[in-house]
Structure 1
Amino acid sequence: MTSQQGTVEYIVEQAGAAGSVTARKMFGEYGLYCDGILVGLICDDQLFVKPTEAGRAFVGTVEEAPPYPGAKPSLLIEGDRWDDGAFLAALIRLTAANLPRPKPKKAAATSKSAETPTP
């Protein structure tokens, strides 16, 4: 089962105060990003946030479950907590702040064969 577009849009909207919050389609589901950092996944209309010590302390007691078979457990944020935009934005902002920054992508290498010497 895949997530509904409306669910994804609602979560992104509710967490919007955290910064630049976006969702990208990944493997039939969605990755949730804050300021370019992958902070969670939306799978089967459920929100899974990457676990950090700060995130765990903020949410208190919460179920941890893998978003898909074979994945590491994440914080499973129940749907009734999505309605609290301030809570969701704070959790997403806190999670992003406690995850490593993505490595910059390397520039595309130019091919030497594309360069033709002039006679």
Structure 2
Amino acid sequence: MASHPDFVNYVAEQLRDAGAIRSRKMFGEYGLYCDDLFFSVICNDQFFVKVTPQGEAAFPNLPKAPPYQGAKDYIWVENVDDRDSMTALTRLTCLALQEKSQKRRK
């Protein structure tokens, strides 16, 4: 079952305070970018965020699951109505991913 554009738009709207959010259709589902950094996927109308040590430490109770068969585990955000938590997780994740990317370039 593919994700619905209305759900993708809702999640993007919920994350508006985290940065410039855009979605991109990928393989029938969606990837999310914050300030042009890929950090999340939406599959089957479910919101998944890349796992980082910072995200796991700040949100230890959020479950992890693969968004699709054969994928690595992502943090599964079940409550997409909790804008503050989603925004905080997105910011932490993107900062961690940027730091990781900068270390690789050196």
Query: Structure 2-normalised TM-score?
Result: 0.88
Q: CA deviation at 1:93?
A: 1.1
Aligned residues: 100
SS of structure 2 residue aligned to 1:2: coil
Bigger drift between 91-100 and 23-32 goes to 91-100
User: Matches of 1:88 and 1:41 in 2, distance apart?
Assistant: 13
User: Matches of 1:85 and 1:75 in 2, distance apart?
Assistant: 16
Measured against aligned partners, the alpha-carbon deviations of 1:81-117 in whole angstroms (never above 9, x if no partner) come to 2112121111111111101449xxxxxxxxxxxxxxx
SS of structure 2 residue aligned to 1:10: helix
Is 1:90 matched up with 2:81? no
Aligned to 1:29: 29
Structure 1 or 2, whichever has the larger Rg, is 1
Unaligned regions of 5+ residues in structure 2, if any? none
Aligned to 1:56: 56
Query: Structure 1-normalised TM-score?
Result: 0.79
The one-letter code matched in structure 1 to 2:73 is P
Unaligned regions of 5+ residues in structure 1, if any? 103-119
Structure 1 outlier segments of 4+, above 6 Å:
none
Q: CA deviation at 1:3?
A: 0.4
User: Matches of 1:97 and 1:65 in 2, distance apart?
Assistant: 22
Aligned to 1:75: 75
Please report the RMSD computed on the Cα atoms of aligned residues, expressed in angstroms: 1.3
The one-letter code matched in structure 2 to 1:89 is T
